[in-house]
Amino acid sequence: MREIGVPHPRLPLPAAGGEDDMAAFLAWLGEAIPMVGGLGIREMTRDDDRLTWQLALTPNLNDKGTGFGGALAAQTTLLGWCWTTLWLRRRGLARDVVVAEATQRFLAPVTGDYRLVCEPEADDGPASLAERLELRGKGRIALVQRLWCGDTLCLEARGDYAVLPEA
């Protein structure tokens, strides 16, 4: 059981040059952030600079039988946090990440199971973040999340994620 004000232990970093086991990361995430267990995340995959979740709609229904905007907004924010955290972990860095700003545009109702895709807003975003971390010990990256229900783009979100200096 999580306690208020007590940080959850970090997941050990992967071996040098290694990749995270996505299932193990997702299991840790569910322990670290209790609401994750109720989000309906079925699978998490990474392809280069793209992180994707496959999700079930049922745990995220609203009173109209479609996707609840608050749950979808929380998912986009959390997916961006995961993208940034996993990016850091691949570089052997265990750092705190926070969302600094987030916006969402709801484009169509979510009427079935869906996927959320997160990637950098700018092609040079990861390189710029790496440079700022090297020079200043902290940095930010802008990420875009898109929610697809089949071939329909239902939600587009943007978030700025800050990597805090080492404690």
Residue 71 lies in a domain: yes
* 60 occurs within a structural domain: yes
- First vs last C-alpha separation in the chain: 25
Cα 138-71-58 angle, rounded to 5 deg: 135
The pLDDT score that the predictor gives to residue 2 is 84
19 pLDDT band (50/70/90 cuts)? confident
Structural domain of residue 122, as residue ranges?
A: 22-163
Report if residue 90 sits inside a domain: yes
Spell out the residues 6+ positions from residue 139 whose beta carbon is closer than 8 angstroms to its own.
Answer: 128, 129, 130, 131, 132, 133, 162, 163
Q: Go through 40-73 and write b for each residue having 16 or more CB atoms within 10 A of its CB, e for each that does not.
A: bbeebebeeeebbbebebeebeeeeebbbeebbb
In a domain, residue 9? The reply is no
CATH number of the domain within which 153 lies: 3.10.129.10
| CA–CA gap between residue 31 and residue 1 (Å, rounded) | 9
pLDDT tens-digit map of 43-101? 999 999 999 999 999 999 999 999 999 999 999 999 999 999 999 999 999 999 999 99
Residue 98 lies in a domain: yes
**Residue 50 maps to a domain:** yes
**Cβ proximity of 138 and 130 under 8 Å:** no
147 inside domain:
yes
Q: Report yes or no on 14 lying in a domain.
A: no
Structural domains counted in the chain: 1
